[in-house]
């Protein structure tokens, strides 16, 4: 074991660093440089090439360290206003004290379930979600991430219906594991990994007639369809909101053709769009619903796919171990989710997101009108907001300009022309105004260089 002595010392050094809340300049710079080197040599060099936080020399970067509420701080102590929100995972902001305390209390008891005794918090969280889920959805299975919820949803849809094929939407985003990629709506992420099991057919988002026509064609040629899967509002495509009649029509079509409707609420769920669930804007109830991201309160990773008791029998009979997980729904993750849902419901964060989102979108739309050479437009609902630019290059300049002014934003994985705003749901109008001021200064700078 002597060859591991230096590795143990390295681990101990970092454990000592982790315990520090504030860092001196020398330590911060050392951490930053080492982080860049570790990513380049041991993780993924492409991530370093992509990051706006890496200096032009490439030797060190603004490296994240701690956060509180709407603000995040790098190792040098620079304060950023977070309008990225971990791609939607930080509805409650950074290190929400009630969520942190729930996890801390549970961690002192158990972290991973025994796998044999009954773990109470998994049952409590399933019950809680059943109380607040739309329609007759009353069962949940817990996993560690959003893409795992899609895997589970596709699996149970196949088991329940006895059918093997799916319909998805162009530019839809559902995760990057193989099953999830099979319903991904952009070739950049899926083409090199084909073929997938079964077939997936694609229709344009916000086009119910196209869905109906595709189902008619499949029925005519004898291709069975298990389910239609879509996001209530397309997130990675740029916060694309469909027409008011779209989702009610989709629900009617799925029911008429006898296929399941799977709602990917991984990014839209738990208040982000101004309603508890994205489909609540249209009073539509899906058959299966996927949630993740903010379910863990920004502290623990957890996701769930949900359905009603009729569908769940496919997991219960004849083999209740058809779908299992070792770490999904562990006690610490469930404690975080229970606390996060308590805060969200008690403080009515969906309504707060609706009010502040409407204010934010209105102001952004005004800036879009002032700078037509920069903007194509602004879309979104609640605090899921997409700024669409005339070109990817302009969008990158805006994002880089905001980063320089200490506002965290990022692009989307589907639309290269789009920069998202997804701040914590409790961001107030004073903080929004400060973001807008920094954005306007950025726009002036970008416009001057065009």
User: What is the pairing mode between strands 288-291 and 303-307?
Assistant: antiparallel
pLDDT in tens, 150-179: 999 998 999 899 999 999 999 888 876 776
Kindly give, in sequence order, each residue whose CB lies less than 8 Å from that of residue 227, ignoring residues fewer than 6 positions away: 153, 154, 157, 161, 166, 167, 254, 259, 260, 261, 262, 287, 288
253 versus 190: the higher-pLDDT residue is 253
- Distance in angstroms (rounded) separating the CA atoms of residues 340 and 333: 10
pLDDT in tens, 318-356: 888 888 888 999 999 999 999 999 999 999 999 999 999
302: left (phi over 0), alpha (psi -120 to 50) or beta: beta
- Distance in angstroms (rounded) separating the CA atoms of residues 414 and 174: 11
- Per-range mean pLDDT, top range of 29-38, 165-174, 307-316, 430-439: 430-439
pLDDT in tens, 91-101: 999 999 999 99
Q: What pLDDT is attached to residue 410?
A: 83
User: How much is the average pLDDT of 41-53?
Assistant: 80
pLDDT in tens, 221-251: 999 999 999 999 999 999 999 999 999 999 9
Write down the pTM of the prediction.
Answer: 0.92
Residue linked to tokens 């799925």: 254
Q: What pLDDT is attached to residue 193?
A: 44
User: How much is the average pLDDT of 387-396?
Assistant: 93
pLDDT in tens, 264-288: 999 999 999 999 999 999 999 999 9
Q: What pLDDT is attached to residue 60?
A: 59
Phi and psi (nearest 5°) for 348? 50, 50
Beta strands in 83-204 (DSSP E): 139-143, 166-169, 200-203
Q: Chain-wide mean pLDDT for the chain?
A: 92
Tokens of 410: 């990022």
Given a contact cutoff of 8 angstroms between Cβ atoms, the answer to whether 85 and 420 are in contact is: no
Q: What pLDDT is attached to residue 191?
A: 66
Q: What pLDDT is attached to residue 115?
A: 86
pLDDT in tens, 20-43: 988 999 999 999 999 888 988 998
Q: Which of 54-68, 269-283, 428-442 has the lowest mean pLDDT?
A: 54-68
Which letter, b or e, does each residue of 146-171 get, where b requires 16 or more Cβ atoms within 10 Å of its Cβ? bbbbbbbbbbbbbbbbebebbbbbeb
User: How much is the average pLDDT of 344-373?
Assistant: 97
Q: At what angle do helices 120-132 and 331-346 cross, to 10 degrees?
A: 30
Can you list the domains of the chain with their CATH numbers? 99-346 (3.40.640.10)
């Amino acid at each position: 074991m002597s060859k591991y002595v230096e590795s143990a010392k390295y681990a101990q050094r970092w454990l000592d660093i982790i315990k520090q809340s504030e860092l001196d300049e020398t330590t911060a710079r050392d951490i930053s440089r080492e982080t860049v080197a570790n990513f380049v040599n041991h993780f993924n060099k492409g991530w370093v090439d992509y990051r706006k936080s890496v200096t032009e020399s490439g030797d060190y970067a603004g490296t994240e360290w701690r956060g509180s509420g709407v603000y995040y701080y790098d190792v040098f102590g620079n304060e950023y206003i977070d309008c990225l929100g971990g791609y939607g995972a930080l509805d409650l902001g950074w290190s929400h004290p009630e969520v942190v305390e729930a996890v801390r209390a549970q961690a002192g008891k158990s972290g991973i379930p025994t796998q044999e005794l009954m773990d109470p918090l998994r049952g409590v969280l399933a019950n809680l979600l059943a109380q607040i889920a739309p329609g007759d959805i009353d069962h949940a299975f817990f996993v560690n991430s959003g893409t795992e919820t899609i895997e589970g949803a596709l699996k149970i849809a196949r088991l329940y219906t006895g059918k093997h094929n799916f319909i998805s939407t162009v530019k839809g985003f559902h995760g990057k594991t193989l099953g999830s990629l099979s319903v991904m709506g952009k070739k950049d992420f899926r083409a090199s990994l084909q073929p997938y099991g079964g077939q997936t057919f694609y229709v344009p988002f916000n086009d119910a007639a196209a869905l109906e026509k595709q189902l008619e064609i499949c029925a005519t040629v004898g291709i069975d369809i298990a389910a239609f899967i879509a996001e209530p509002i397309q997130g990675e495509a740029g916060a694309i909101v469909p027409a008011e009649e779209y989702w009610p029509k989709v629900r009617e079509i799925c029911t008429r053709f006898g296929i399941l409707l799977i709602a990917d609420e991984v990014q839209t769920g738990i208040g982000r769009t101004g309603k508890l669930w994205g489909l609540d804007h249209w009073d539509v109830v899906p058959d299966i619903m996927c949630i993740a991201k903010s379910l863990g309160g920004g502290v623990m990773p957890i996701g769930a796919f949900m359905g009603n008791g009729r569908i769940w029998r496919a997991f219960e009979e004849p083999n209740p171990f058809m779908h299992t997980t070792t770490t999904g729904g562990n006690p610490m993750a469930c404690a975080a989710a229970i606390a996060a849902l308590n805060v969200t419901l008690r403080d009515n964060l969906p309504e707060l997101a609706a009010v502040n989102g409407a204010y934010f979108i209105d102001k952004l739309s005004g800036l879009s009108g002032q700078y037509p050479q920069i903007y194509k437009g602004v879309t979104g609902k609640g605090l899921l907001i997409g700024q669409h630019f005339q070109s990817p290059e302009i969008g990158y300049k805006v994002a880089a300009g905001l980063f320089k002014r200490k506002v965290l934003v990022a692009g989307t994985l589907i639309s290269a022309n789009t920069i998202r705003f997804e701040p914590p749901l409790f961001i107030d109008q004073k903080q929004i105004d400060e973001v807008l001021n920094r954005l306007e200064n950025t726009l002036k700078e970008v416009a001057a260089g065009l």
